[in-house]
Amino acid sequence: MFAAKPLSAFKSEVSGLVFRLPSPATGHGRRSRAVVGRPSKVSGGGGWVRAAVSGGDNKTVEAEKPVDGKDLNGSLPSSSSSSSSSSSSSSSSGKLDVRAVISIRKKIRQKLVDKIEDSLESFMNGIGQGIMLQLVSEEVDPVTQSGKTIESSVRGWLPNPSLHSYVAEYAADLRVPQDFGCPGAVLITNLHGKEFHLLEIVIHGFSEGPIHFPANTWIHARKDNPESRIIFRNQAYLPSQTPVGLRDLRREDLLSIRGNGKGERKPHERIYDYALYNDLGNPDKDDDLARPVLGGEERPYPRRCRTGRPPMQTDPLCESRIEKPHPVYVPRDETFEEIKQNTFAAGRLKALLHNLVPQIAATLSSSDIPFKCFSEIDKLYIDGLLLKDEEQNEAKGNLALANLMKEVLTVGERLLKYEIPAVISRDRFAWLRDNEFARQALAGVNPVSIQILKEFPILSQLDPAVYGPPDSALTKDLIGQELHGMTVEQAIEENRLFIIDYHDMLLPFVDKINSLSDRKTYASRTILFYNPAGILKPIAIELSLPPTRFKPCNKRVYTQGHDATAHWLWKQAKAHVCANDAGIHQLVNHWLRTHASMESYIIATHRQLSSMHPIYKLLHPHMRYTLEINALARQSLINGGGIIEACFSPGKYAMELSSAAYKSVWQFDMEALPADLIRRGMAVEDPSAPHGLRLILEDYPYANDGLLIWSAIQEWVESYVNHFYSDPGSVVSDVELQAWWDEIKNKGHYDKRNEPWWPKLDTKEDLCTILAIMIWTASGQHAAINFGQYPFGGYVPNRPTLMRRFIPQEDEPEYEKFLLNPQHTFLTSLPTQLQATKVMAVQDTLSTHSPDEEYLGQVNQLHGHWISDDRVLELFERFSHKLEDIEKIIDTRNKDKRLKNRTGAGVPPYELLLPSSGPGVTGRGIPNSISI
């Protein structure tokens, strides 16, 4: 039984407004939404009371207000002049007074209109016409068979300054029966004309201390939705443990945010539902922007968050688009907070600055231009981008261009410069070397494609009737020439041969891609050799085109060679491999395996797990901002005609390629880091080794550091799950948990619902594995393949995102030009200046940490009361300390001279899996969630 303590005993606990009396409260009974929406009526005789609020200047603002049963000074009538403070706060009916403190987040950067609106809202709150609260007990009223309730309104005149200037605090006073029990929920109704952001409600006055109701949610206005919002206290309950007084509310809260597949979603709503990827194309605007729907038997894909917009006029299967700057719907609490919005806006502005001048130059010169020499690339970091005088004079006559220039040009004629990417910051020529090419396969932005070569010959799994003979052109003789006396069989037996194989994934798309303007690609295989000196190097590259009538085996192999011509051809072949790697990285390993897959987990979590469920509380930090960044990506990155199509090799077939990869290679259980390493042959199980795995290549920075993070996550998850699921059958009997996992498989990943590899969810061990995969995907895995995008891709020759020319052959006219000027051939094969600057700007934005980033093992100070369980907090603190220790281990590794993939002349340290980071492009830091 929770007991209440006198008001005078807890005034010092309240950091918000201090009133001289509590406002009246109603009795308890069955909750009625209609009643909650109205201010409480006061019966009995009338009187006046003066409410006092402390201001920031130590002055007191006073106002008179009629309150029944109180004297002029706001004192409760005492039963005798010698009554104690305890008795003075209790009425003759045995009720006690408690106070609810409501924390509301205001805009950090306020305009005049925002200040005026805040003043009006404060006034409405002051007269009790702004916010209504209903406190709900965990105990049942025997009359109504529902949780006991007490209702009151927020009353106050001015918000008291809090620790944060953008947080306003208000108070509501409630008179609670002594047998009320523990408060378990608060129903809040917003009577204002617009929404507000509720951070937390704290109830003061119960003997056990303050009771926290963490919210961090937008409260809709009653005019938009008459339903009250339900906020539960920070106590985690399995469904079977839900206090009787909260059972109906728990069920009702879940139902309120589940969509039914109907209706267009409105900005204020919090509705989570599923939809196909049918919003990428825009045939209403241009026939060339038509894109197929992703999701279904032909083009399977994970589901996205449903918006319910009307269909296209030209294609009823596609949803109409909303173009920038108008926002795409996501459930209200999924949108960026103000600090994140400002950071992202700054990134968009930077992209605007970098993109507009090339666009203006392209407009004035009527063509996009390639880089003519390497110094033109260097100028992006040294001088920035400039317009020629004659182009500026011509632009001045064009009003539209002149206005753009005013927005773009900063100091004089010069634009903002690009930062020098990490890959060339220490060594300008590192990208040319073969060992750096191989090092980036282990410690670059896409270290998840390399696999061991297990058998020979190398065979394709594609239909030979369509794609020709399955045998690779990489024969034993060709490979053997590069092994310095070792045989292919010996190299395979000693685990010295590795492969990056994009042949089967890309070959079905090669003809389509090559039909696009200024786009040329091959399907590639790259063989790497780990030589006896302990150095991994590429030794052979196979580039393939689909067979033709004249060339049934359209494959060519390149090796480093020993003359100038062979060296330049080898550089071109490596550039084609890098372009393939960039496309697979962006569309498969980055977008599909983290962003798109995580979205369906998030939707199911909100639809099936109550906010008081312990697994919801565990996953909640790992869902922040993901739906919003994915919606923005569908709007301007992966959409028809978007940045990815314009600047990456697959062009308009980019998302079809991503769908094909989902169909052929995506598998939930293989998203666990240990399982992925074993599948690729980069590790073997070894109970005596750390983490139970032995790496085939000891100096594999992504795997070494990743296993530290994976193990820490696994340990944290196991301790958390064991704490809540003590009964052996508690996982199977958890109805919300089972519905959650069922929905992930059968709705979120509907096209893969019948696959036999889905893990069962019968035991605690099953649950721990599933949760570890999700948390790793959202945190460590995404960090490892996202925040290195600009550090590695910001220098175009190191990682071109497309190639515009085939490699010249001896029987072609271009071959003579290549021999005369191989540098020109190489540079004109790379992305144009416009394509390059677009990609660099986007990669810069996507590699940037926001100042409000929440990192793995950290809790935002405003969300510190996320759970009331001391044991859980102790386990989380242990997890945080573990990550601090991991950071020290990684720092030590990056100073170990024996680890050549981390140290050496000009070699940047591997920091992508360092847990902490500051804001900006740091090349380190593991956010809790996919937030960019």
Active-site residue set: 590, 595, 782, 786, 932
- Helices marked H in 274-398: 338-365, 374-382, 389-396
Strand partners, 48: 66
Residue 665: how many CB atoms within 10 A of its CB? Answer: 14
Strand 555-558, strand 536-544: pairing: antiparallel
- CA 843/CA 849 separation, integer angstroms: 12
CB atoms within 10 A of CB 734: 24
Beta-bridge partners for 99 = 173, 204
Are the C-beta atoms of residues 686 and 774 closer than 8 Å to each other?
A: no
CB 98 within 8 A of CB 178: no
Residue 521 and residue 513 in contact, taking contact as beta carbons nearer than 8 Å: yes
Q: Are 544 and 577 in contact (CB under 8 A)?
A: no
Residues in contact with 200: Cβ distance below 8 Å, sequence separation at least 6, in sequence order: 102, 103, 212, 213, 214, 215, 216, 862, 865
What single letter denotes the amino acid at residue 31?
R
Termini Cα distance of the chain: 46
Q: How far apart are CA 575 and CA 127, in angstroms?
A: 69
Q: Are 195 and 221 in contact (CB under 8 A)?
A: yes
Backbone angles phi, psi at 318, to 5 degrees: -105, 145
Rounded Cα gap, residues 656 and 303, in angstroms: 15
Which residues, 6+ apart, have CB-to-CB distance to 240 below 8 Å? Answer: 730, 733, 734
* Residue 504 structure tokens: 């089967």
In 452-596, which residue ranges form alpha helices assigned H by DSSP? 464-467, 476-480, 488-493, 503-514, 564-584
Helix (H) and strand (E) counts in the chain: 31, 19
Check: CB of residue 440 under 8 Å from CB of residue 538. Answer: no
Block residue for tokens 């920035």: 384
888: three-class secondary structure by DSSP: helix
